[in-house]
Amino acid sequence: MKTQLSYLKKLSVLGTKTLVKYYLLAIVSTLLYLVVGSLQFNASHEAFFSTVSPVQAVAKFLWLIGLILLPVLLFIFSNKYVFSKIASLVLEERQDDLILPAFDKVLLIFQSNQPDVIQNVADYSFAKLKLINDVKNTKIEGPWVRRIVIFGLNKVKFDSLDLDNNTSFYAIIRSKFIGVLEILTTASSKPFWTCILVQWLMLLFIWLTN
């Protein structure tokens, strides 16, 4: 138990440090995008919304769209990357003794609390949503473990074959949950750096139009 708590603490520290690093990169790049872009427009000696030059009008419009949209995307991709990185690490190192026991714990509680619903339900997807809600309300060891379990459940999909056999809902969803974990892709920061690149390409375009 002590080892597990130490491992969960290490995950929290790693996740926080990585997230802060990417947030700072996003903030610095966005501030530079704002300042450098503004300075370039001021250097053109035209009113910001001037339409004297159609190319500059397009550049200003794209710059404004980028100023609003790109920071949002940077923060979204930062969060996605950090979660994927931590999830991949946990699944590689502690899937069998951390993730699956937590999932089985929630599944057992869900089964004992709502046996009739599962025995008679026709819509497995609705049962899955109820299970996800139980995960959110059940005390699981560490927020990262809870997020990974919820992520895995959200990726579980049912088809007509699941309804045609006599396998229980619990056996089906556990099997599919393990399958989802096995194909979980490795973390990639490419979308984040693509947004950074777009910001600086936009500044280059503005400089060329001037």
DSSP 152-187: HHHH----HHHHHS---HHHHHHHHHHHHHHTPPPP
| Residue 139: CB atoms within 10 Å | 7
- Nearest residue to 160 (alpha-carbon basis) of 178, 149, 151, 172: 172
Burial of 192 from C-beta contacts in 10 A (0-12 / 13-18 / 19+) = buried
**8 Å CB contact between 210 and 44:** yes
Region 53-71 average pLDDT: 87
pLDDT-based confidence at residue 106 (cuts at 50, 70, 90): confident
Asked if residue 29 has pLDDT above 90, the reply is yes
Q: What percent of the chain has pLDDT over 90?
A: 27
- Number of CB atoms found within 10 A of residue 12's CB: 13
C-alpha to C-alpha distance for 140 and 142, rounded to whole angstroms = 6
Confidence band for 73, pLDDT divided at 50, 70 and 90: very high
Higher pLDDT, 183 or 19: 19
User: Is there a contact between 138 and 185 (Cβ–Cβ < 8 Å)?
Assistant: no
Mean pLDDT, all residues of the chain: 81
Indicate if the pLDDT at residue 32 is higher than 80: yes
For residues 124-141, average pLDDT: 75
**Is pLDDT above 90 for 195?**
yes
- Please determine, for residue 120, whether its predicted confidence score (pLDDT) is greater than 50: no
pLDDT at 121 over 50: no
CA distances from 189 to 36, 78, 82, 84, 178 (A): 25, 8, 9, 9, 25
Mean pLDDT of 188-200: 94
Cβ-in-10-Å burial (0-12, 13-18, 19+) of 14 comes to middle
Lowest mean pLDDT across 12-16, 99-103, 192-196: 99-103
**Whether the predicted pLDDT of 190 surpasses 60:** yes
Residues 88-114 have a mean pLDDT of 80
Between 23-27, 56-60, 173-177, 182-186, the lowest mean confidence (pLDDT) is in 182-186
- pTM for the predicted model, two decimal places: 0.79
